[in-house]
Structure 1
Amino acid sequence: MADKKKAPSASTESSADTEELLALRDQIDALDEQIQQLISDRAACAQRVAEVKTRARQKGDEPPLFYRPEREAQVLQRVMARHTGPLGQEDMARLFREIMSACLALENTLQVAYLGPEGTFTQQAVIKHFGQWVETRPLIAIDEVFRDVEAGAVNYGVVPVENSTEGVVNHTLDTFLNSNLKICGEVELRIHQHLMIGPNTRREAISRIYSHQQSLAQCRKWLDAHLPHVERVPVSSNADAARRVNTEWNAAAIAGSMAAELYDLEIISPKIEDQPDNSTRFLIIGRESVPRSGQDKTSIIVSMRNGPGVLFSLLEPFNRHGIDMTRLETRPAPSGTWAYVFFIDFKGHMDDDNVQQALRDVEERAVEVKRLGSYPMAVL
C-alpha cells in the first residue's frame, strides 16, 4: 500500500509565506526607489521649464504663464485614459494632481482666493482643482474674490455657481455682469453633509443646529425625521457653524469633513444630505483666456430684446450648429423694466468653427453677448 503524502506543516507554510512576503517587500522597495527618482526627474524638468519662461520674460516677451489649465487637463485626461487598475481612475488622477501641484510650486507658487472662511466646501474645491501646493486666501464675500483677482492680488479665484439640489448661486452670476474676468476652469465636488458636535456638547441636550442655509435645505428631510423639534439656525458658512459649536454645550453643526478636522469636532451622523448625488459646481476665475484642451466648455451672457419668440431665437443657432447646451439660467437685467439676461453654458471652445458660427448668429439677434470664457471641463 502506497504511503499517503503528508500535508505541509504549519511551520513549512509559514516559512514559505515569510519568504514570499520578504520578496514582495523587496520589490516594493525597488519600485518606491524608481518612483521617487522619476518624480525628482519630473520636478527637475519643471524647474527647467520655469527657467525657459523666465528667460522669455527677460527678453521682453509676454509675462510667462506658469499655470496652464488646458495643459493640466490634458495630462489628467491622458492619465485616466491609459490607466488599467488596480487603483481607480480618479484615484490615480488625484495622485498625479498632487505631483503636478508640487512641481508647479517649484516654478511659481499660485495664490488662490476663495469664498471662505477656512473649512468650507469652496476650500475643498480649491484643493481638488489646484492640489495642496498653492497659497490660499479665504475671503468673506464672492465680490471680494472677484475684486482680488481683478486687482492682481491673487492669480485665481474659486466661487460656487450651482448646487444640484438648491440650484444656482445668484450672487456669482450677478457679479459676472460687471466683471471683465474670465472663467478658466470648473470643479465638481460631491457634497457630503455631516452632523457634528464639540467636545463639550451634551448629545441629549442639543437644542439648536447651526449651518449655512443651503446646507440646512439640503438636509431638510433628514432633520425632519431625526431632529424635528431642534432649532435650525442659518449662519454665514458651514465653517462658522463648526466654530460656534466648540463654544456651546447644547449645539450641533452641519458641515463637511474638512470643517470637522479643522475645528476638532466629532461626526455623529455622517452623510445626512437628502440627495445621495448632491454636488456643487465651482468656477475658477482669472484674467487670461484659456486655449483649447480638447474637452471644453464655454460660458456666455446674452441680453435679448423683449418680444415673442425671443427664447427660440436665442436657442435656435445652437441647435442648428450642433452645439450641446448644458445650462440656461435667467436673471433680471440690471436696467430693470422686466428685461432679462441669459447665462448659457455649452460644450465646445470659442475657437471651434461651429461655436464661432453660432455666436455670430446669436450676436446678430441679441442686444449684447458677453463671452465669459472657454475652459476645460471638470476632469475629476
Structure 2
Amino acid sequence: MLDLKETRGEIDRVDKQIIELFEERMELCKEVAEYKLYTGKPVLDRKRELEKIAVLKSMASDEFYAHSIEELFEQIMSMSRKLQYKLLTEEGINNDIGFDIISKLPMENVKVVYQGIDGAYSQQAAMSYFGDNATYHNVLTFKQAMKEVRDGVADYAVLPFENSTAGIVTDVYDLLVEFENYIVDSFDVKISHCLSAVKGTTLETIKEVYSHPQALMQSSKFIDEYGWNKVNCANTAIAAQIISQEKDNTRACIASKNAAKLYGLEVLAEDVNQSSINTTKFIIVSRRKIARREANNICISFEMPHESGSLYTMLSHIIYNDLNMTRIESRPVPGKKWEYRFYVEFEGKSDQPGVVNALSGINAEALNMQILGNY
C-alpha cells in the first residue's frame, strides 16, 4: 500500500519546482515586454500562442493530459500577458485612457434633455438633479436625446438605466455604444406608480392599461390580477396624455401622481408597483469625456472572439487587478446571429493603475471595446 504522507511529500516537492520554473518563466516574460516596448509590437500574438500550445499538447502522453496542458498553458500565457501589460503601463505606454478629471460637473446655465413629455419620470429626475441651474427640453425617444447631446444641442441627457424590479433599460445600453457619449454620473429615484383614468372610470370598466414597458413590468402583478391588456407607450407621461385625450373609461394608464394631476386624470389606485422599494437608476450623459474626481465606477462594453473561455479571459483582467465587478449584462450584436456584446461595470477610477492595466488588457484582447463612462 502507498504511503499517503510520502506521496504528499513528493507532491510538495514537485509543486516547489513548478513555482520555481513558473517564476523563471515570468522573468523571461519581462524580457519579452522590454523587447515589445522597444519595437512597439503588441503584447498579444495569438498565432504564436496557438502554435506553442499545439506543440506542448503533442508532448502529452494521452488525450486527458493534452487537454489539461492546453488549459494550463492558456492560463500561464494569460498571466504572462497581464505582467507585460503592467510593465508597459509602468513605462508610460497606454497609461492614459483619455478622461479629463474634474472636481465637479459644470452645471451653471446648462441645457438638459430628457425623453418623454411633461410629467415624465425622466423630467422629475432631471429637475431633481439640476434644479434651477438648467434649461430643460424633451424629445420623444432615447435616441433623439443621445443625438442632441452628441450634436451639442444639449449639454446633458438624463436617461433611465436600470430599475430595481424590471432590470436594465436595454435601448439605453445599446445607444451608449452607438453614440460617442459618456456616462458622467448616476443617481437613484424612487418610483411610485399610480393607476389613473378619466372621470367615471372604475376598476370594473377597465379593459386596457397603457404605459411604458418598464412601468407595465413593474406593475404586472397588479395588472394581471384584473386580467387587463397591456399597451406599450413611449413614456408613462405620454400614456397619461393619451388616456386624457381619448376619454375612454375602458382604458387607464400607469404613471406618476404628478402626471395624473397634470393631465386631469383621477387616481384609482396608488403604489401599484409590486415592490415597495421600486427604484430607477438614472444616468447623466455628456459628449465630453470627463470624470469627477470622486467617481468610482467604470462601465465598458466589448465583443470578443467566439472561442471557448473568451469571457473568462476578458473578466480575468478585472480579477487580476483586484477590481470589484458590480454588473455584467449581455445584448445581441445587431446584424450578427448568435453573437453578443457584453457590458461590464466595475469599481475604480480612470487614472488608477489597476484600472488602466485591466482596460489595456481587455482592449488588446477583445473586439470593439468602448469605455462608456467613469462616474
Q: Which amino acid aligns with 2:262?
A: L
1:284 and 2:269 matched: no
Aligned partners of 1:243, 1:161: CA distance in 2, in Å? 24
Equivalent positions of 1:341-356 (< 5 A) are 341-356=341-356
Q: 1:114, CA displacement in angstroms?
A: 1.0
Aligned partners of 1:350, 1:128: CA distance in 2, in Å? 27
Is the deviation greater in 206-215 or in 299-308? 206-215
Q: Which amino acid aligns with 2:244?
A: N
- Residue segments in structure 1 that go unaligned for 5+ positions in a row: 1-67, 73-100, 376-380
Q: Paired residue for 2:139? A: 139
Q: 1:370, CA displacement in angstroms?
A: 1.0
CA distances 1:329-363 after superposition (whole Å, capped 9, x unpaired): 11222451433221111111111121111112222
Aligned partners of 2:204, 2:291: CA distance in 1, in Å? 56
3-state SS, counterpart of residue 209 of structure 1: strand
Q: 1:167, CA displacement in angstroms?
A: 2.0
Q: Paired residue for 2:236? A: 238
Aligned partners of 1:345, 1:218: CA distance in 2, in Å? 24
1:71 and 2:69 matched: no
Residues 332, 341 of structure 2: 8 Å contact kept: yes
Aligned partners of 1:194, 1:69: CA distance in 2, in Å? 40
1:266 and 2:299 matched: no
Residues 292, 351 of structure 1: 8 Å contact kept: no
Is the deviation greater in 351-360 or in 209-218? 209-218
1:318 and 2:351 matched: no
CA distances 1:35-70 after superposition (whole Å, capped 9, x unpaired): xxxxxxxxxxxxxxxxxxxxxxxxxxxxxxxxx985
1:215 and 2:215 matched: yes
Q: Which amino acid aligns with 1:238?
A: T
1:161 and 2:194 matched: no
Residues 124, 258 of structure 1: 8 Å contact kept: no
Report the CA distance shift for 1:207/1:314 in structure 2 as closer, same or farther (over 3 A).
same
Q: Paired residue for 2:303? A: 303
Residues 183, 283 of structure 1: 8 Å contact kept: yes
Q: Which amino acid aligns with 2:363?
A: E
Aligned partners of 1:139, 1:292: CA distance in 2, in Å? 27
Aligned partners of 1:334, 1:213: CA distance in 2, in Å? 21
Report the CA distance shift for 1:267/1:293 in structure 2 as closer, same or farther (over 3 A).
farther
- Residue segments in structure 2 that go unaligned for 5+ positions in a row: 1-100
Report the CA distance shift for 1:258/1:70 in structure 2 as closer, same or farther (over 3 A).
farther
3-state SS, counterpart of residue 290 of structure 2: coil
Q: Which amino acid aligns with 2:236?
A: N
Aligned partners of 1:156, 1:218: CA distance in 2, in Å? 27
3-state SS, counterpart of residue 306 of structure 2: coil
Is the deviation greater in 151-160 or in 325-334? 325-334
Q: 1:151, CA displacement in angstroms?
A: 0.9
Could you tell me the TM-score, scaled by structure 2's length?
A: 0.67
Q: Paired residue for 1:333? A: 333
Q: 1:273, CA displacement in angstroms?
A: 0.5
3-state SS, counterpart of residue 246 of structure 1: helix
Report the CA distance shift for 1:335/1:238 in structure 2 as closer, same or farther (over 3 A).
closer
CA distances 1:190-231 after superposition (whole Å, capped 9, x unpaired): 221111233454565334322222212211111233x23x44
Equivalent positions of 1:179-258 (< 5 A) are 179-201=179-201, 205-225=205-225, 227-228=226-227, 230-247=228-245, 248-250=247-249, 251-258=251-258
User: RMSD between aligned alpha carbons?
Assistant: 2.3
Q: Which amino acid aligns with 2:195?
A: L
Q: Paired residue for 2:125? A: 125
Q: 1:315, CA displacement in angstroms?
A: 0.9
3-state SS, counterpart of residue 119 of structure 1: coil
Q: Paired residue for 1:96? A: none
Report the CA distance shift for 1:174/1:131 in structure 2 as closer, same or farther (over 3 A).
same
Q: 1:139, CA displacement in angstroms?
A: 0.5
Sequence identity (%) = 29
3-state SS, counterpart of residue 373 of structure 2: strand
Aligned partners of 1:194, 1:148: CA distance in 2, in Å? 31
Is the deviation greater in 327-336 or in 268-277? 327-336
Q: Which amino acid aligns with 2:151?
A: A
3-state SS, counterpart of residue 289 of structure 2: coil
Q: Which amino acid aligns with 2:351?
A: D
Aligned partners of 1:204, 1:340: CA distance in 2, in Å? 45
Aligned partners of 2:235, 2:367: CA distance in 1, in Å? 38
Report the CA distance shift for 1:161/1:215 in structure 2 as closer, same or farther (over 3 A).
same
Report the CA distance shift for 1:133/1:196 in structure 2 as closer, same or farther (over 3 A).
farther
3-state SS, counterpart of residue 260 of structure 2: helix
Is the deviation greater in 145-154 or in 162-171? 162-171
Could you tell me the TM-score, scaled by structure 1's length?
A: 0.66
Aligned partners of 1:291, 1:351: CA distance in 2, in Å? 10
Q: 1:319, CA displacement in angstroms?
A: 1.3
Residues 202, 249 of structure 1: 8 Å contact kept: no
Aligned partners of 1:342, 1:327: CA distance in 2, in Å? 10
Q: Which amino acid aligns with 1:272?
A: V
Aligned partners of 1:112, 1:281: CA distance in 2, in Å? 17
Report the CA distance shift for 1:218/1:365 in structure 2 as closer, same or farther (over 3 A).
same
3-state SS, counterpart of residue 131 of structure 1: helix
Q: Which amino acid aligns with 1:188?
A: D
Residues 177, 372 of structure 2: 8 Å contact kept: no
